[in-house]
Amino acid sequence: MFPFVGEIPSRVRNLLSRFRKFFNTRPQYDNFCRAVLGMIVAGKKEHDVKSINELFIDQKDQSSLNRFFTESRWSAEDLVREGNELLISEEEEEEEGDELGWSTTIEYKILDDTVCRKYSPRTELVCYNHSSTMGTILSHDYVTSLYVNNNNGPAIQDGLKLYGSEKKCKEKKIGFKTKVQLACELIDEHRQRAKRTIVLWDSWYMMYDVVARCRAHTYNWIGEMKVNRIVFYKSKKYITCMLSSRSCGQMEGSTML
């Protein structure tokens, strides 16, 4: 690969300066800037540490960038949270005065899971997961959250939880959490920006615990239900094969099993 990046553009460095507080040393922050720019330049293509480093005319010792990722002293959650605030603040400024833009009335939080292909079985918590588009592949499996403000507002990645199988968690001596537990954590961590929040999910997450977390925060919810679910509504028992497969959180007083 021919190196063509001489330095971090001033506009990019100015935006990334908001993240400086999360890094203890100047080399860590410099590696962060290089990694972000490398992924921007990659576009839809995949990049690894080696190819990112080769983009720069002034290349660093690759081991430094390796340690930045593998021995990180920074929190990915902090970076994601700050990035979301940056995107939202810019959207608010651009959409100010536009009645079809930013809304203070309604917002949506969409829960789902996705896989990220990996190439080494030695990567932490990596295992074979099923993807509807790629089949069964070696990958990380994440429970994700997408934030949408109004129908025409910004769509922003608003939460990311790495799922590890029970076997892998035991090997790493990490506390095991199901995807449903991770989804509940994403709901608890949500920062409400509009008067009404609606959480959406597919049938995998239509569980009592997820619904209970929405109710605890007074969020509405909409989700698909599997046909083997039992719902108690106003002391009456319903089997989902007798109901519509879609259920809405406005059914106050209903209980799921």
Task: Report CA-CA distances (Å) from 2 to 51, 55, 208.
Answer: 10, 7, 54
Asked whether residue 143 is domain-assigned, the answer is: no
Q: Give the range of the structural domain holding residue 21, as residue numbers without chain letter.
A: 1-74
The predicted model scores a pTM of 0.71
In a domain, 29, yes or no: yes
Structure tokens, 154: 């910004």
Q: Is 11 inside any structural domain? A: yes
pLDDT at 103: 64
35 assigned to some structural domain: yes
**Residue 181 domain-assigned (yes or no):** no
Selection from 214, 167, 161 nearest residue 192 by Cα: 214
Strand partners, 157: 146
Give 190: exposed, middle or buried? Use CB within 10 Å, 0-12, 13-18, 19+: buried
If one counts the domains in the chain, the total is 1
Q: Six-digit token pair at 8?
A: 């971090």
The predicted pLDDT at position 95 comes to 54
- 81 inside domain: no
Say whether pLDDT at 67 is over 90.
no
Read off the tokens for 168: 């892998």
Check residue 97 and give left, alpha or beta (phi > 0: left; psi -120 to 50: alpha): left
Specify if 253 maps to a domain.
no
Q: How far is residue 3's CA from residue 200's CA, in Å, rounded to a whole number?
A: 44
* pLDDT of amino acid 13: 87
Task: Look at residue 97 in the predicted model and tell me its pLDDT.
Answer: 47
Is residue 159, in this structure, part of any structural domain at all? no
